[in-house]
């Protein structure tokens, strides 16, 4: 029997994020918050921050179409110890909440709340059903991931994440579910899509010893929650990015 889904969360790609029942996740670095200048320019250079900023509206519009198809409400989140935020000098609960809230308001998506460190799912913000936690103290920046999971067929649930981890160990979660919808609208180019996907692979390579920026570290997860033609388009663009490396 399939799990009943109750909400879609746009959350960071962090492999230590864990989710409660009913949550389907679309992962992206820091939920796509950006701040130019300073920080770790090696892992997350300004050129790539500009790419995220300039494509963010198109990406979120595509993610919104995923939520519409699944008939689920969609929310953004932030989390304790966010590395993508820290790489841009956005650190601490106050800064992360403020920047994610500001971004969410600008693109017209509801910000649900901050995900805290712990050892079991906690309700997020004012939600009565959507829960998550990060199983790593915010002062610990070690990433033990060995894979990058690109989702192409309607995000991923905690149960699906655990099933993959049983075989491949923990993985960063990056959404490619939005690509087909974004291309239909025409607000993003194929080159930008390739660079966006590559950026997330590069970030994973830069912060986790067990990940390399190549096909050997990638798992493509199609949950088959979207129309097959949509999932196939999404998967094709992930594979095309990988073949260009």
Taking the model in full, what pTM does it have? 0.97
What is the chain's percent helix, strand, coil content, to nearest 5?
40, 20, 40
Digit-by-digit pLDDT tens for the chain (245 residues) are 578 999 999 999 999 999 999 999 999 999 999 999 999 999 999 999 999 999 999 999 999 999 999 999 999 999 999 999 999 999 999 999 999 999 999 999 999 999 999 999 999 999 999 999 999 887 777 788 999 999 999 999 999 999 999 998 899 999 999 999 999 999 999 999 999 999 999 999 999 999 999 999 999 999 999 999 999 999 999 999 999 98
Cα–Cα–Cα angle for 172, 37, 80, rounded to 5 degrees: 40
Decide: residue 1, CB within 10 A, 0-12 exposed, 13-18 middle, 19+ buried: exposed
Q: Please report where in the chains the tokens 């199983």 appear, as a residue.
A: 135
């Amino acid at each position: 029997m399939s799990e009943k889904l109750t909400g879609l969360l746009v959350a960071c790609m962090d492999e230590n994020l864990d989710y409660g029942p009913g949550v389907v996740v679309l992962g992206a670095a820091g939920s796509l918050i950006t701040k130019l200048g300073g920080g770790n320019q090696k892992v997350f250079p300004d050129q790539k921050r500009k790419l995220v900023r300039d494509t963010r509206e198109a990406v979120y519009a595509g993610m919104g179409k995923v939520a519409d198809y699944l008939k689920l409400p969609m929310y953004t989140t932030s989390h304790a110890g966010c590395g993508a935020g820290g790489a841009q000098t956005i650190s601490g609960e106050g800064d992360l909440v403020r920047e994610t809230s500001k971004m969410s308001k600008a693109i017209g998506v509801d910000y649900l709340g901050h995900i805290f460190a712990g050892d079991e799912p906690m309700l997020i913000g004012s939600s009565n059903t959507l829960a998550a936690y990060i199983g790593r103290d915010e002062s610990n920046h070690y990433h033990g991931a060995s894979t990058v999971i690109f989702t192409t067929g309607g995000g991923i649930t905690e149960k699906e994440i655990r099933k993959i981890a049983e075989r491949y160990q923990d993985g960063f979660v990056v959404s490619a579910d939005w690509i087909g919808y974004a291309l239909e609208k025409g607000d993003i180019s194929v080159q930008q899509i390739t660079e966006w996907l590559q950026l997330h692979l590069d970030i994973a390579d830069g912060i986790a010893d067990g990940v390399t920026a190549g096909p050997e570290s990638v798992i493509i997860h199609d949950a088959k929650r979207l129309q097959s033609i949509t999932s196939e388009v999404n998967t094709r663009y992930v594979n095309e990015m990988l073949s260009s490396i």
